[in-house]
Structures are given as C-alpha cells and as structure tokens.
A and B are shown apart, each in its own frame.
Chain A
C-alpha cells in the first residue's frame, strides 16, 4: 500500500489504552479470586508415602556400595519382592490409577474451580471486546512484517490489502492476554504470576501416573550390581595414615 492509513487519536484514547488497562485489572482481580477459592488440600496418604519410598529407594541405589552385601540384599527384597514389596505395583492397579483420579470428586472440584476462574473472565472479556471494538484497526507497529503475521495481528479484519503492521483491536486483546505475564510478575510477585499459557500447560499435565515412579525405581533397583566398597577403604585408610605418620 502506498499511502498510510491515518488512525484517529480517539482510537488510542478510547480503545487501545482502555483495553490494556482492563486486561491488567482483570488479571489482578482473577489472581485474588483464585486465591480466595483455593482450597488447602491435605496431601493424600498414599502419595506422601510413595514419595518417601522413592526417596529411600533412590538413596539405597546411590549408596548401595556402602553397606554390607547382606544388608543390601535384605533391603532389595524388602523393596522389590513380588508379593508385598514397597515398590511393587500390581498390574491391575497401575491402570486404574488414572480412573481413580477422575472419580475423586475433590480433585474434579479443584479442577473445576481452577478452570472457572480462567474461562469465565476470558469469555466475558472476549465477548466485550468483540461487541464494542470489533472490526477496526487499533494500532500500528513501527516496523513491517510478512504476510504470515496477518492472522495474528489482524484478527477480525478480512482485508488482504491492509498492511500487516496494522493491528486490529481483537488481536490487540489477544496480544495482551498472552503478553502481560511479565507485568503481572512485577505487580503480584514472582511466583504468583500465572498466565493462561501456563495454566493450559498444567491442564495437559493432568493425568500423570504416580505409580510410574515406583516401577521405574524398582527396575533401577533390580539392576544394581552390589559391590561392597568398604574393603577398598582399608587400603585408602592405610594410605591416609601413612601420609599422616610420615
């Protein structure tokens, strides 16, 4: 395009700035709402114990060579025997774990709360932006961009002739939605800034299987070759003492 579009300054004052301010305010508000709704969940007995078992088994694997062979073998049997070993997971149970998690009403409730605090304000603001500010150009970025950015920056404008460096109001909303994370971490403190992209990642992480850690640890323990390190220490002690005495 040869001639530039001239943007009304009223657009800046009544669209661009209000939109950004509203997005920030909504982010802050949502943070406080989710803080109110967060239930302090006490950890499940099984999960606590499994975590501890894994730590202890890992210690055993790492320090195996420091205890006598007999003690090591006793511990290995204790951890990984097929009847009631701590790390042994019965086959049927392993598959059920996920289903169990879904059937747990508390967990579902928590997920609901988390999602509600994310989805409701998002739909509302999107509807608001769509209703009031749809279909026009709100800003111009000061450098040229390639055609591929058109769908990102000119959402809501179906004109292929407009230069890509113009930003539509709806796209400005999206940019704000995903780009305000740094600002939130400034306002709300480092760890409190939870933007939507992160939450979405958390969502997809749901469905993780806690029994996997146990069986992985069991496999690791099964292949440990025990070689008592202590006989070597006698020679090392001799060397140390010889150095000390001489």
Chain B
C-alpha cells in the first residue's frame, strides 16, 4: 500500500524531473522503494542517466541496480533492445549471477518464447526454490498465454507455501471471478479481508461476489458487507450504495409471501437511495433521471 504522502512526493518529483528540474535519481529510487509501475518514466529518465557516463559513474555501485530497474522497465514497455543491452552489461559484470539469470528469463518471456522462458525459470527454481518473484512470473506467464487454469494451478501451488501473500490471493480471486467460480473467489476475498480488515475495496468485492452467488443468506451477508464498505468509505462509494439498494430489493423478492417478522428495518436503503440521489445531483445532474427510474424499478 502506498501512503498518500509517498504518492504526493512521487508525483511532485515526477513533475520536477519531467520538466527538466533534476532529481531523476531520487525519483527512480523512490519508485523502486515503493514498487510502483511507472515503466515509461523509469525507462526515459533511467536511460538518460545511463547514457551519460559522468552521471552513471557518480552512482557508484548503485549503477547496477539502475541497470536492473531500467531493464525491467524496458521489458514492460516492449523496448526489448534496450533491455537486452542492459542485461548484457549486467552479465559482463556479474558472471553466473542468479539475479541476472532471472532477468534473462524475463527477457525470454517478454519476447514470447514461452517454452524457453519456462525452462529458464524451472532451472532457476531448482537452485533456489523460494524465489517468490519467479513463482509469480510463472503464474503470470500462464495467464499471458491464455492458460487460465494453469495460472490457477501455479498460484495455488505458490499459496500453499507463501500463504500470507495477499497480492497472490487477490490475483487468484480476480481470476476466479473472471471464470465465474464465485465460491472459490469468495474464499479468496475472505482471506484478503482477514489480512487487511479495514480495506473497503475487499469488503466491496466480497459483497459483489456474495450478491452474485445469490440465495437469501448470501444476499443478506452481501448487504452487510456493502454496509461496512459504506461505513469505511464514509458513504462516498457509489457502488456500495447501489449494492445496498439492489440487495434490499432482491431480499424483498425472495421473502415475498413469507411472514414478515424477520424483515429488517428499511431505513438503510432509504438513506442509501437519498445519498445516491444527492450524489448524482451534485456530480452528474444529467444522469439523475436514469437513477430515479432505476430506483423506482427496484421498488424503493
């Protein structure tokens, strides 16, 4: 998670560097520290340092870190020649390094020669079976080839060992949702909520999955998670507000004809609808009619 102050600092530095104000190295360091993906900028500013022998030599041993960073950014931007040059320089300096080996395998992957990349990753894993980056690359590679089930398999294998890695859980959850395997996705989102209980996005995604699963119990739970999202975001999340309305309407349909003693108080959805209308009035007045007709069709 990138905190707000960090992000502001990155943006300020990026602005400064873009306008030729210097501080490129500080910017690159910060990007690396926060693990941001701003490959185009990293490539541009990193190369400008690397192509200037004076600036480059003033970095000292950090020069090699920069080569690695630029190589990865270049692969992300499909500038494979640049990446190749960087990796070659690193290779000359660090013979038989595992870290350079990883970069080479990534270059193969970026070129699209899957089989060779796979082979390279496998041999790297034999040397160090706990290289998390390589495990993740393998899952990503399977996904890039369209082999979604393979990606799931790799991710599951990875999570068996590194079960506290919530990024992997999130990836798995999104894959499951894309395959409409909602029960599995729900499990992953539960795991994510456990790892970061105050992140409203996980609550929201979990509620979406529960609502899609359907059934009275799930929809009741979904409504609760939409409510928690509303609470955690201070009522600013439109999707959560709409979710509450939808859940209430669905619950109304499911419990139709039954005795109404376990019916919940209707106040929450009335409030949600009012908040929605207010929000639309402020930010998108032209679409207000759409909203009112939708809400009316939900019988609220």
Chain A residues packing against B (C-beta within 8 Å): 42-43, 45, 48-49, 52-53, 55-56, 59-60, 62-64, 66-68, 71, 230-231, 233-234, 236-238, 240-242, 244-245
Contacts and interface: CB of A to CB of B under 8 A. Distances in A.
Interface string B214-252: 000000010111011011001100000000100000000
Interface string B152-190: 000000000111110000000000000000000001001
Interface centre among B227, B264, B268 (most CB of A within 10 A): B227
B224 A233 contact: yes
Interface string B22-41: 00000000000000000000
A230 B227 contact: yes
B194 A66 contact: yes
B272 interface: yes
B268 A56 contact: no
Contacts of B228: 66, 230, 233, 236-237
Contacts of B224: 230-231, 233-234
How would you classify the secondary structure of chain B's contact residues: helix, strand, loop or mixed? helix
Contacts of B197: 62-63, 66
B129 interface: yes
B164 A56 contact: yes
A245 B128 CA distance: 57
B130 A42 contact: yes
A242 B231 CA distance: 11
Given A231-B224, A241-B271, A241-B275, A63 B161 contact: no
Interface of B: 128-130, 161-165, 187, 190, 193-195, 197, 221, 223-225, 227-228, 230-231, 234-235, 244, 264, 267-268, 271-272, 274-275, 278
Given A62-B197, A236-B231, A240-B230, A45 B161 contact: yes
B168 to A, nearest CB: 11
A216 B268 CA distance: 42
A62 B198 CA distance: 12
B80 to A, nearest CB: 31
B271 A45 contact: no
Given A59-B195, A67-B193, A244 B267 contact: no
A236 to B, nearest CB: 5
A230 B221 contact: yes
Nearest to B264: A234
B278 A238 contact: no
Given A52-B164, A56-B164, A241 B130 contact: no
Contacts of A60: 194
Nearest to B232: A233
A238 B267 contact: yes
B4 to A, nearest CB: 21
A43 B132 CA distance: 13
A67 B221 CA distance: 10
20 contacts: A42-B128, A45-B129, A52-B161, A56-B163, A56-B194, A56-B195, A62-B197, A66-B228, A67-B190, A71-B187, A230-B228, A231-B224, A234-B227, A237-B235, A238-B227, A241-B230, A241-B275, A242-B271, A245-B274, A245-B275
Contacts of B128: 42
Interface centre among A42, A53, A240 (most CB of B within 10 A): A240
Contact of A49 (B161, B165, B190): B161
Given A45-B161, A56-B164, A68 B234 contact: no
B271 to A, nearest CB: 4
Contacts of B274: 241, 245
Contacts of A236: 227-228, 231
Interface centre among A43, A56, A60, A241 (most CB of B within 10 A): A241
B190 A71 contact: yes
B267 A55 contact: no
A71 B221 CA distance: 12
A66 B228 CA distance: 10
Given A67-B190, A230-B227, A234-B227, A48 B163 contact: no
B226 to A, nearest CB: 8
A230 B235 contact: no
A71 B194 CA distance: 11
Interface centre among B128, B163, B244, B278 (most CB of A within 10 A): B163
A63 B193 contact: yes
A52 B162 contact: yes
B130 A67 contact: no
B161 A240 contact: no
Contacts of B130: 42-43, 45, 48
A68 B221 contact: yes
B270 to A, nearest CB: 9
Contact of A238 (B164, B165, B193, B271): B271
A242 to B, nearest CB: 6
A33 B170 CA distance: 45
Contacts of B268: 234, 237-238, 241
Contacts of A233: 224, 227-228, 231
A42 B127 CA distance: 9
